[in-house]
Amino acid sequence: MATRTREPLTRERVIEAALRVMDDEGLEAVSMRRIAREVGVEAMSLYHHVEDKEDLLDGICERVMADFEFPEQGDDWAENCRRGARSWRRLLKKHPNVMRLFAEERGPIRSVDSMRPTEFALRLLRSAGLSDRDAAQAFHAFGGYIQGFVMMENGSIAGGADPEHAKAHAALAAALPEEFDALQAVAPYFLECDTDEQFEFGLDLLIRGLGAKVGASPGAGGQEPPRTG
Amino acid sequence: MATRTREPLTRERVIEAALRVMDDEGLEAVSMRRIAREVGVEAMSLYHHVEDKEDLLDGICERVMADFEFPEQGDDWAENCRRGARSWRRLLKKHPNVMRLFAEERGPIRSVDSMRPTEFALRLLRSAGLSDRDAAQAFHAFGGYIQGFVMMENGSIAGGADPEHAKAHAALAAALPEEFDALQAVAPYFLECDTDEQFEFGLDLLIRGLGAKVGASPGAGGQEPPRTG
DNA sequence: CGCCGTATGCTTACGATGTACGGCGAGTCT
DNA sequence: AGACTCGCCGTACATCGTAAGCATACGGCG
């Protein structure tokens, strides 16, 4: 028979297929029917493994986060931060569409593995000498920067990566009234666009700033937490 | 007659209606039919003023950017940067869903007004003493940070703003295995979550870092641009 | 062995979406 | 007057998420 006791579809396999389709064909290709086809099943069968499409997308997010590659750590906290940040960016760029999912309101976390990157980052910041409070703040600062940067790389609002769009952008900048002189002066550098270098630039700013802060109040562990009621 | 020569629907009015619906009822409510109803017309009539839905969404983005409020400028470049950043964040928070649009790949810019915030930011950075090249880099650093931060505020992946979600997140953190000690220690501060303060923290890091850079190579204008072929 | 509850999958169907296509009425030009 | 254009409408279609019900297969029981 064709329908021999087949491999019994799991949530993991569904999500994996969805991630594959998303990476290969874009987020709009991720429909229940498309994913079902991908795993050799009809659309409605997926609902035995995911609650609904939102849940599927949540699953993709967690799946991606769980793929974070933990960089080796050395003695220099700044370099450790840099490596962590680069790794996070690399991950986000590997699945360009996941930023769009992050930008939506996501459901509660379900898998433990997807929290490991956060734990990793927080340890790193604490080991740099930040208080728990400052670690939380710095976490948001770095997280925001990295995700926002990648978003600008992908979405290309106000300075994107792909040459064609950048070219169009620059052409438009050149055609602008004279009052946009700063834009016209800087446009070539938008075009040049070595995004790795640009990423490092901002990363450097954050780390320098953090260095100043660490130097200012060195070695402080966590003081008492705020009342969380 | 009811159908007297009525106000002749324009692209602007369509986009304005779409923005209103998006702000009031969320991005998923923005359908061609819904917007058409909003302006008292049938869905297909919209296509005389926007190419397709993508174009409409592009229009929303530009419309929002054109709403940027230019803060007054003083003598302190750092304070000027802060004001500009706060203004940009305020704008993004005023239309929380627009971040999701920015996260997608957007079409080419069409309106001049929507470029003014960029021009403003670049002037500001140049007046701080940055070279054109560094201004471009810093622009991406600040832009990335601000947008990413707001995205985290809204989307709440790894530390969101609204209390309910944060609470759930913290509860989950507390229930985590012991290996997540950093996360557990910092969780209260994620919960506390004075987002304004957190925003200022990251902003400060960037500005401090920039200050170091400005101090290092002071007053340099723009050197020659790279070949843009 | 047969029996049955519970997973798992399929089929059908419904309402909503973006938009291609063609028609219709009014204003403008020759 | 007649032709043409412009703004708008109505209809139609493919695709989407998913609710409801039916079919089949598997595991634990007698």
Percentage, residues of chain B above pLDDT 90:
66
pLDDT of the residue at A218: 42
Nucleotides of C under 7 A from a protein CB: 7-12, 16-22, 26-27
pLDDT digits (tens, 9 = 90+) for B159-173: 445 566 666 776 777
Among candidates B76, B87, B89, which has minimal Cα distance to B211?
B76
For residue range B197-226, what is the model confidence (pLDDT) as tens digits? 999 999 999 999 998 887 654 433 334 444
- So what's the pLDDT on residue A221? 39
- Strand D bases with any atom < 7 A from protein Cβ: 7-11, 15-21, 24-26
Sign of CA dihedral A44, A21, A31, A68: positive
Rounded to an integer, the average pLDDT of B84-111 is: 93
- Hey, what's the torsion of the CAs at A89, A93, A94, A98, to 10 degrees? 100
Task: Give the per-residue pLDDT at A188.
Answer: 87
Stretches where chain A sits below pLDDT 50 are 1-5, 158-160, 217-229
User: pLDDT value at position A177?
Assistant: 85
pLDDT of residue A157: 53
Residue nearest to nucleotide D24 (CA to C1'): A3
Is 70 exceeded by the pLDDT of residue B94? yes
Nearest alpha-carbon partner for A98 in B104, B36, B116: B104
CA distances from A13 to A6, A8, A51, A55, A58 (A): 13, 10, 15, 14, 14
Phi, psi of A187 (to 5 degrees): -50, -45
What is the predicted pLDDT for the residue at A219?
Answer: 39
Subunit contact B204:A209, Cβ cutoff 8 A: yes
Q: What's residue B191's pLDDT?
A: 79
Higher pLDDT, B227 or B120: B120
Query: How many residues in total does chain A contain?
Result: 229
Examine the pLDDT at B99 and tell me if it is beyond 70. yes
Supply the DSSP string of B16-35, one letter for each residue: HHHHHHHHHH-GGG--HHHH
Q: Could you tell me the two tokens for A54?
A: 């939102």
- Chain B interface, best mutation among A53, A104, A167, A194, by max B CB count within 10 A: A104
Q: Tell me, what's the pLDDT at B166?
A: 64
